[in-house]
Amino acid sequence: MPRWPFIAFLTVALGALSGAAAYQHAPPRQHEGNGVWQEISWPFPRDGWPAGRAFRCRTAACGGEVELYVRPKMGFCKCDRGVADDNEVDRVADLDLMSQHFAPLAPGDVVHVADMPGRVRAYELRMPDGLQRTAIGLAVSRRCDLLVAVAHGRGDAPEVRRAALASLASREMTRWMMAAMEER
C-alpha cells in the first residue's frame, strides 16, 4: 500500500497546526485603548534588549500625537525589591532611547499594569533636534523581570500619561505583556 498519502496528510496537518499557532501568537496590529493606536515598527537601533512594540496615536483622544514603546527587560530587576523608587524609573524606563537629556517634572506615583506593581513618572525630554517633549516613563516588575514603557507627545504630561496608561490597560496589550513576561 503506498504510504505517500499518509505522509502528505501529516504534512498538511502539521502545517495547519503551525498556522493556527502562529495566528494565536501574532501580535495585534491595532488595538483600542483610549483612542485608536496604530502599531508602528520599533524605531530604535538594537541595544542590550530585544526590540519591543511601538504604537502611535494621532487622535484627539490622546491629546494629539503620542508614541508609546513597550518591552520586557528580563532579569533586570532586583528580585525582592522591585521598582522601589523614582531613581529606578529614571534608570530603566527607556527614556534614553529618545534622548540622554531628560528631567523629571515631579515625583512619580505607584502604578499597576497587567497586575504588576511599579512606578510611573513624568519627564521633560530635550530631543536631539532641540525640541522639548513631554514623556511618561513607566517600569513595573514581576520577580526579577521588568516591563518598561515610555510614551512621549506634544501634549501636557497628564494627557500623555492618561493616554499611555489607557493603552497599556487594554485587553490586547495586557494579554501581550503577560505573555511576554512568561517567555523564558
Q: Please, which residues have CB within 8 angstroms of residue 10's CB and are 6 or more apart in sequence? A: none
The answer to whether 14 contacts other proteins (rule: CB under 8 A) is: no
- Comparing CB distances to other proteins, the nearer of 62 and 180 is 180
By CB under 8 A, residue 157 contacts other proteins: no
- Of 58 and 91, which has the nearer Cβ to other proteins? 91
| Sites for other proteins among residues 42-61 (CB under 8 A) | 46-49
Going by C-alpha positions, the residue among 138, 81, 86 that lies closest to residue 114 is 138
Nearest CB to other proteins, comparing residues 101 and 171: 101
Judged by CB under 8 A, the stretch of 32-40, 90-98, 114-122, 133-141 that binds other proteins is 90-98
Min CB(5)–other proteins separation in Å: 12
By the rule CB under 8 A, 23 interacts with other proteins: no
3-class SS letters over the chain: CCCHHHHHHHHHHHHHHHHHHHHHHCCCCEEEECEEEEEECCCCCCCCCCCCEEEEECCHHHCCCEEEEEEEECCCCCCCCCCCCHHHHHHHCCHHHCCCCEEECCCCEEEEECCEEEEEEEEEEECCCCCEEEEEEEEEEECCEEEEEEEEECCCHHHHHHHHHHHHHCHHHHHHHHHHHCCC
Among 103, 128, 129, 132, binds other proteins (CB under 8 A): 103
Restricted to residues 58-87, the positions that interact with other proteins (CB under 8 A) are 74-76, 78-81, 87
Choose between 29 and 46: whose C-beta lies nearer to other proteins. Answer: 46
Nearer to other proteins, 48 or 130 (CB): 48
The answer to whether the beta carbons of residues 89 and 119 sit under 8 Å apart is yes
Nearer to other proteins, 35 or 49 (CB): 49
Residues engaged in binding other proteins (CB under 8 A): 3-4, 7, 46-49, 74-76, 78-81, 87, 90-91, 95-96, 99-104, 182-184
